[in-house]
Amino acid sequence: MKKILFGLVAVLLTFTSMQRVSADDAAPYTVTPAIPKTQLDSQNKNYLDLLLNPNQVESLSFDVTNNENKELSLTIVPGSASTSPLGQVLYDDQKVIGNVGPQMETLIHLDQTTIKVAPKTTAKVTGSLTMPNTPVNGIIAGGVTFSQAGAVKKDAVETTVAVLARNTRDLPATSAELHAVSYETVNKQTGFAVAFANTSGSFINNATLVTKVIEVATNKTVLTDTRHNVQMAPNSTMTYWVKNTMAELKGGKYRIHVKADWTNTSQTFQKEIALPKTAKQSGHKSKALPFKAALLYALGLLVIVGAVILTIFLKNKRFLVK
């Protein structure tokens, strides 16, 4: 469990800059999905939300329009939905740690993984989605991501078309659990990694998570973290960071208490964790001197004191001589 949790923790402090294409951007290209007859709501033209039978295969098609006066080169990759540490759903993740059930990235098969589009023209990207053989209770979420490479990573341009698939219109009730907690040091920051899981096949929307770290011996709350407007992908895990802002946390048992509120639901979860020794605050540096340095410092003081005493003695002796 700790190995899995630490894998989740590794993403907490690892963020990259990537331009996301939106309707408000002067986008170098646009991507429009073709809407099939299996679309749950035919009026929804922005993303795919498909109602399919087990083992059914549905064709996928995307129109890519180059809005610039130069040739466009894109990479196309299918991905699975995950929940970021900030409580946002990402539709372009790969090999997601903490997700359970069928993953969209393995169900989508693209006919092209790269494409070149001439200036001011439109090209098609095609593929298919194959549902699992056994019925799925809820939504399988993911997307298809189109990426234009940049000279540096922050200049890359990326857009993702969400792809959702289900076997039934009705969705299961939402449910969650406190999956795991751990005290970690990552990138010189210390704190509690809290893995909170959506255990249902439905999205959790507009959730508020209030996390308290409570010292068991005194029942005193030592740290608090509040997160609003959290959205979680179906069957995904959100690992977030409760930073240690105290100078020290004493060794002993601590209770991680999470109160979670979302649509028509209010639940509390808790787990205990033992800290074997005093835990320093992030970036906290001890002022204690190493033993060798302290010994040299003490010897230096003795030499100085001895020199002062000797000087006083010699002066007094000189004045006493007649």
State the Cα–Cα distance between residues 17 and 188, nearest whole angstrom.
21
106 & 44 share domain: yes
Q: Is residue 312 part of a domain?
A: no
Q: Is residue 240 part of a domain?
A: yes
Number of domains present in the structure of the chain: 2
134 & 61 share domain: yes
270 & 228 share domain: yes
Q: Is residue 306 part of a domain?
A: no
Q: pTM to 2 decimals?
A: 0.79
Q: Quickly count: other Cβ atoms within 10 Å of residue 28's Cβ.
A: 16
41 & 149 share domain: yes
pLDDT in tens, the chain (322 residues): 443 444 444 444 433 333 444 444 578 999 999 999 999 999 999 999 999 999 999 999 999 999 999 999 999 999 999 999 999 999 999 988 888 899 999 999 999 999 999 999 999 999 999 999 999 999 999 999 999 976 456 667 899 999 999 999 999 999 999 999 999 888 888 899 999 999 999 999 999 999 999 999 999 999 999 999 999 999 999 999 999 988 788 889 999 999 999 999 999 999 999 998 766 555 444 444 455 554 554 555 454 445 544 444 444 433 333 3
61 & 109 share domain: yes
Q: Which residues contact 206 (CB under 8 A, 6 or more apart)?
A: 229, 230, 231, 262, 263
Identity of residue 74: L
